[in-house]
Amino acid sequence: MKLKTIIAALACILLALPSCQDDAIVHPSGEYYTDFLGITNCYGNQENVHPKVLYFADGLFGHHYWIAYTPYPCGDPKYENPCVAYSDDGLRWQNVSKNPLDVPKDRKLKYNSDTHLVYNYDTGELELWFRYADEKNQKEIIYRKCSKNGKEWGEKEEVMVNDESGNCALFLSPTIIYENGEYHIWVVNLRKKAMEYYTSQQGNQWQYSHDIALNYALEGKRFFPWHMDIIHEEGKYILCMMVKGYNQQDDWCLFYSESVDNHQWTEPVIMLKPRHDHWDAKLYRSSLVKTPEGYSLYYSAKDEGHYGMGLLKANEPNGFLSLHDTTANSDGQ
């Protein structure tokens, strides 16, 4: 075995060792952006993915920003458990004390994933949503946990269940918005290579509405949807979709689309490309959030099996590509 391979394997083992240390903000230099999100998770590493960020101008439970994420050291799903943190500037984060907020009892081909945060302004509760996958029995469940203060979280409840399809990839990357007394959820159905849209009054009995099938193409290559975020700002729905290529060697990147009615969507355009010589060589699930300064894109990515999260800011929701391309050491992709 090559020395480089041995060193990489040892690094993965060390990164994955459980350690619920106090949160430490670390800003790596050189290969990372200045705004790399150095959130030390409850397992003692900073390999985090699946961000969903909410901003509150007047604060919520004493803080302006809340984030849900999952640790994912070296792509090991047994650590892919939902975590929550808060911040006052969107950059320096403090974990809640009880992370992770759920761990499956049986973790053999059974794991958590795909976190999302929702604020229900009617109940005054912050809601953590996440997906559980049982690959052994081809079953998946979307769970919800609620909190009235960000510290104590209630028991998890099943809100969507897929246990009869024989395919546990029909509720990928659930994206939820609560508005006008109703829950709206979009999920990626990998069998259809499309999004499905549902609505619910209470968030546990869903009415299917329609599919959203978009064309993701760039430079002669076609891609399929994988992980997403949708926000409703300035009178339009804004989609940030992470895609994979049908050729496994193709890039993982982000596409942008918008809609005023959630039926007719604009043709997706590239939103962010990976940097092949950096930590973000493959882009992963990302989160878009509107702030007084414009838009912030919290994106996750990986390189050589290691994952992490970064932050970019722009005036418009589709203004990140030029910022990313002009960053030092970009390969011009």
* Percent of the chain clearing pLDDT 90 (strictly above): 78
What mean pLDDT is reported for the chain?
88
> By C-alpha distance, which of 74, 26, 18 is closest to 49?
74
Q: Enumerate the β-bridge partners of residue 175.
A: 186
Q: Give residue 324's pLDDT.
A: 52
Q: Give residue 35's pLDDT.
A: 63
Distance (Å, whole) CA 53 – CA 288:
7
Q: Give residue 36's pLDDT.
A: 74
> By C-alpha distance, which of 6, 92, 75, 127 is closest to 304?
75
- The order of strands in the sheet holding 294-303 is 282-291, 294-303, 306-314
Judge contact between 242 and 280, C-beta under 8 A. no
Confidence of residue 250 (pLDDT cuts 50, 70, 90): confident
pLDDT at 294 over 60: yes
Distance (Å, whole) CA 113 – CA 129:
10
Q: Give residue 304's pLDDT.
A: 86
pLDDT at 15 over 50: no
> By C-alpha distance, which of 261, 174, 159 is closest to 226?
174
pLDDT at 28 over 70: no
Question: Which of 32-41, 187-196, 264-273 shows the lowest mean pLDDT across its residues?
Answer: 32-41
Q: Give residue 321's pLDDT.
A: 78
Residues 6+ apart with CB under 8 A from 275: 281, 324, 327, 329, 330, 331, 333
Q: Enumerate the β-bridge partners of residue 306.
A: 303
Dump pLDDT digits (tens) for 131-178.
999 999 999 999 999 999 999 999 999 999 999 999 999 999 999 999
Tokens 């990372």 sit at which residue?
Answer: 32
Q: Mapping DSSP to helix (H, G, I), strand (E, B) and coil, where does residue 315 land?
A: coil
Angle (CA) 145 150 154, round 5° = 30
Cα dihedral sign, 201-204-208-209: positive
pLDDT at 23 over 60: no
pTM of the predicted model over 0.85: yes
Confidence of residue 302 (pLDDT cuts 50, 70, 90): very high
> By C-alpha distance, which of 124, 198, 122 is closest to 160?
198
* b/e burial code for range 155-168 (CB count within 10 A of at least 16 → b): ebeebbebeeeeeb
Which residue stretches of the chain are H helix?
Answer: 3-16, 320-325
Confidence of residue 292 (pLDDT cuts 50, 70, 90): very high
Residues 6+ apart with CB under 8 A from 43: 16, 17, 18, 19, 20, 71, 73, 79
Average pLDDT over residues 241-267: 95
Average pLDDT over residues 272-279: 87
Q: Give residue 168's pLDDT.
A: 95
Residues 6+ apart with CB under 8 A from 190: 167, 169, 170, 172, 224, 226
Dump pLDDT digits (tens) for 76-116.
999 999 999 999 999 999 999 999 999 998 888 899 999 99
Q: Give residue 307's pLDDT.
A: 94
